[in-house]
A and B are shown apart, each in its own frame.
Chain A
Amino acid sequence: MWRRRAFLKAAGAGFAASLLPRRAAALERAELVFASSVQKREGGYAAALVTEAGDLVSSVDLPERGHDITFSPTTGQGVVFARQPGTFAVIFDPSDGTPPRTLTSVEGRHFFGHGAFSPDGKLLYATENDFENARGVIGIYDVAGGYTRIGEFDTYGTGPHEMLLMPDGETFVVANGGIETHPDYGRSELNLETMDPSIAFIERRTGRLIGQLRLEAGLHQLSIRHMAFDHRGRVWFGCQFRGPSADRPQLVGYATQDGEIRLIELPETTLGELRNYVGSVAASADGGRIGVSSPEGNTILAIDPDTATVVASLGLENGCGIAPDSVGLLASSGDGALGGFAGSPAPMTTFELNFDNHLRLLKAV
């Protein structure tokens, strides 16, 4: 029987203790603040808040490698999820020195690294793996009850990765990557022959499946993993291809709740630069640009969703995280770089840490 790791000793070495003096100033000056999981240069992992000016605002240590961070729309509390197959999520408050707390996934489940709050901030949802049954679930946590897990919904697929709350506040969209993993085998992929990726639209309050979209059958090894909304409310998604490396299928597309799903046609050379691997997808503040990144190909693209064409590209070694500022997009890298492109004037700066795959803009509450 697989058991959860005894990791609690390492968690929450103290958010307050690691606050830097500039933190308050940065927050008060209303500079843009971004959040990302990071690897520390001295070893170990953390979640960090940084400014586009190059300042490290604060950080909270993590027991192991983290992945995405989501923020409560009402309290501003952040939750950083463990990278799969991790079993922790650390909750921290960027606005004060409240000590972080650690949430542990329940027996038989682990986190996939992504999650979302309800619009009223009362519930937290996380993509999780029911690994004995190779079934994706959304774990539901009651915030006021100390983040107790009060239930779960099916994601109607295997290996769910990113989940987002649709602009209507009532519907989840979940990227079922289709890849079966089991913690007994680490991150090994166990079903590459029979993968069945999909995008599922799910009612937030009931867990009912509203609709599920799949790419054509010949693309069953195209794992749908990350998503963002454009200004028309369409769901843009990025894929990772698990078939023969000599093949170069299209990797970026969009889906709608009306049941449309299509891959856009990126030029062959652009596709080559993505190396069959999109690591994150994010939209600009107005939804008029969609950023997609490939840390494998050291390439970040900005796509105009109206024309489905690439309008800007940035070569960034190990670049993966993308987040909006007010006018364009910022990208972060596994080598510690952070800077703007696609309209953002933010200069390229370098931090003494390595950014993980996702970058999030911290919004004022």
Chain B
Amino acid sequence: MRLLIALLVALIAVPALAQEQKLTANEVVELAITEAIRPGFARFAEEAGSLKLNVEALGATPSEATLETARNQFKSAVTAWSRIELYRIGPLMAENRSDAILFWPDRKGIALKQVQGALAEADQTAASAETLAGKSVAMQGLGALEFLLFGADSETLAAGADFRCKYAAAIAELISGRADEMSAEWADPAGFSKRLLEPSASDPDYRSTREVLEALTGLLAHGTEAIRDQRLLPFLGRDGAAPKPKSALFWRSGMTVPSISANFEGLKALLRDSRIAEATSPDQQWVGQSAGFEFGNAERAEKLVTKPVEQAVGDPKQKKALDYMVIVTQSLDTILGENLAAALGLSVGFSSLDGD
């Protein structure tokens, strides 16, 4: 049925698009940077900056209201992060930033143990950004901050829990600093963007525009795989196993599904705003249409999941919607990892996509 719809969409869409000039690879790369990546990182920097201010305000004036504001801003920052966290290239991958902002997967709950340890001991080295930066990355990111703001005893923040609040502020400061650095690096015309826009034989990673295009296509394909293997399946359970909602990322703040939604949105934005599918030949334009169709399916499924994740997995209709999102990622794997790559004439194939 999906194939049939994809074909129908293709039949309708192709004649109009075929008239347009095919986009060049370089135009696609430029659009990806200017329309999707830079705005995404700029927004995350802005939200992370507000989070830092709000957590500081909570420390300065502890109250129900300032705690509420900090919690809400945490959610906004998570959404902004989730939109760009799958752009795993360049600034995000430098200096261990990706792990430091979000240590995940964390199957053994290392972050939780370390945060609880720091709280129990009132470890002063966790209470300033400068010393926290030298500690385990699992203690420095959004997962740790979520526990401080939403986990057991977090209500004490409203009554002026001094150490807990200082630790939270230190994390927020580190996240904000890293977000600013990444946004600045992406914005710098002589920085990483230049390597993508002007690939050269001497560049260790990007020798040609084709390799840049392969990297962008790889972000899309690996992104859908990450949503499935690192976000959905760890708590939904594989092959009919019982769900484990407490293995979900951000379950304490109720951000599990909103974060996954933002992951899909980030990939959709990269696909749409780079117009990468328009760099294919006219008879291959259906690939972009069918990817758009699947992203639409993901959005519809996300809207059905209205309860917090612990309850959603126990509600047959909402569980079904979550399971359906897994299927969408599988379809997107094929469309983005195989069909789009093939339509672009890339060798993001089989053995180099991720080998063994």
Contacts and interface: CB of A to CB of B under 8 A. Distances in A.
B349 A354 contact: yes
Interface of A: 1-6, 39, 67, 83-84, 113, 161, 182-188, 190, 192-193, 225, 244-246, 248, 272, 275, 277, 279, 295-296, 298, 317-318, 320, 333-335, 354-357
Contacts of A188: 105, 226, 229-230
A357 B240 contact: no
29 contacts: A1-B241, A2-B239, A4-B239, A5-B239, A6-B239, A83-B356, A113-B356, A182-B107, A184-B233, A185-B233, A186-B229, A186-B230, A187-B225, A188-B105, A192-B99, A225-B356, A244-B93, A245-B93, A245-B204, A245-B205, A279-B355, A295-B351, A295-B352, A298-B352, A318-B347, A318-B349, A334-B350, A334-B351, A355-B351
Interface centre among A84, A184, A320, A355 (most CB of B within 10 A): A184
A187 B354 contact: yes
Interface centre among B99, B238, B352, B356 (most CB of A within 10 A): B356
A246 B352 contact: no
Interface string B306-340: 00000000000000000000000000000000000
Given A188-B230, A318-B352, A193 B99 contact: yes
Nearest to B234: A184
A246 B204 contact: yes
Interface of B: 93-94, 99, 105, 107, 137, 204-205, 225-226, 228-230, 233-234, 237-242, 247, 347, 349-352, 354-356
A318 B238 contact: no
A296 B229 CA distance: 23
Interface centre among B93, B239, B240 (most CB of A within 10 A): B239
A244 B99 CA distance: 12
B98 to A, nearest CB: 10
B163 to A, nearest CB: 26
Contacts, number: 98
B233 A186 contact: yes
The 6 closest A-B pairs by CB, nearest first: A186-B229, A334-B351, A295-B351, A334-B350, A295-B352, A334-B349
A185 B230 contact: yes
Contact of B347 (A3, A193, A298): A298
B144 to A, nearest CB: 15
